[in-house]
Amino acid sequence: MAAAAARHSTLDFLLSAPADCNAVLKGLQPVFQEQGMTETIHNWEDHGYLATYINKNGSFSNLRIYPHGLVLVDLQSHSDDIKGRDEIDHLLNKIEERMKQLFHSSIKRVKRLPATVRGGAIDRYWPTADGRLVEYDIDEVVYDEESPYQNIKILHSKQFGNILILSGDVNLAESDLAYTQAIMGSGKEDFTGKEVLILGGGDGGILYEIVKLKPKMVTMVEIDQMVIDGCRKYMRKTCGDVLDNLKGECYQVLIEDCVPVLKRYAKEGRMFDYVINDLTAVPISTSPEEDSTWEFLRLILDLSMKVLKHDGKYFTQGNCINLAEALTLYEEQLGRLYCPVEFSKETVCVPSYMEFSQLWSIPPQDKLINPGNEKSRSQGLSQDFQGPGQAAPPSPQSLIPSTCLCLCPFTLMIIFPPWSK
């Protein structure tokens, strides 16, 4: 399986002056010819050269020379053994060495990225919500099943533990307690003796953490039994033993669609102290009138408000803060509910949503620069809002001293009905 994967290596040169395309081509030709590669050249008068070099073993390289000073080398090979990788590295080293000999005074930048592996037995590449590509340190496919609703993968990461991925969307890793704590109110809520409704949450993380806090009853509504089955077996650092049984002393798990359940509870007059929506993130689409996911979110919001007690709170996830337009549109949807609401939001860093780094520094005082906010960095940054149209919060980078690095922060929201005041 692994031998069938293709490795794609790249080497880029940015020159400080327009390139002599012919000189670059003639300077690099001997390097490829030494490898016994067959050459094909395409020449465009105003757009430079494209030279393709094909090896007998099926590997090939494209040399693209742009007149404005950009030289790109792409090399693709099926060789996945150590010898094959060494041969590729040797060829790239020779190309880099030759370019520096020819143009050492005019090379502005040299960039060689780690090889990407395409078609491998283990898929390590997953996009962030805002469209950037991340290569995870995945070393094992733990679980891969197709349910009636979605594809379910649990992959093992050396950094993050097992990661739940639903239809290509990174949901939660065993490292991501910060997400679970934030969507429960970051330790500021008292769940003792309370009635809690969880929408979704099939990984069991929210249920497991709330049950520890001695609620009166937690009802979790998850549509996909296969998510629960996979997480019960392979995400136990997240869910503990809470998914071993669908009913416990202070909780029950309903394998149902949450929409009819919410409608039934509203009709019966059943009310909750907390509703926690862990169904789906704010859509990336910026067309809320056309996207069915937006319509679904509005429906869940309206129905959730109908089952909240007068002093109740509604917690929901948002999305990556780089999706500012989509998050603003979500706030606008809050103004369209059947009842007016106020809300606050908090920005947290979820480890598996982006690689994170640990830094050391000795600052004069280990606090946020904003003197009015004494919140621990591990709990994130929060700001109260009175409704749609308010200014966005300052970026976390502008509020956090050098002792903390936040990558790919994630926004969560707390929504208050007017009667909760």
The residues annotated with a catalytic role in the active site are 278
**CA 233 to centroid of chain Cα atoms:** 23
Euclidean distance between CA atoms 381 and 325, whole angstroms: 20
Q: Which of 133, 204, 188, 177 is nearest to 348 (CA)?
A: 177
**CA 375 to centroid of chain Cα atoms:** 25
DSSP E strands, 287-372? 308-320, 342-349
Euclidean distance between CA atoms 182 and 318, whole angstroms: 11
Which residues face 143 on adjacent strands? 154
CB 22 within 8 A of CB 28: no
Q: Which two structure tokens, joined as six digits, stand for 170?
A: 């990174």
116: left (phi over 0), alpha (psi -120 to 50) or beta: beta
What is the SS3 assignment for 73-105? EEEEECCCCHHHHHHHHHHHHHHHHHHHHHHCC
Euclidean distance between CA atoms 84 and 361, whole angstroms: 42
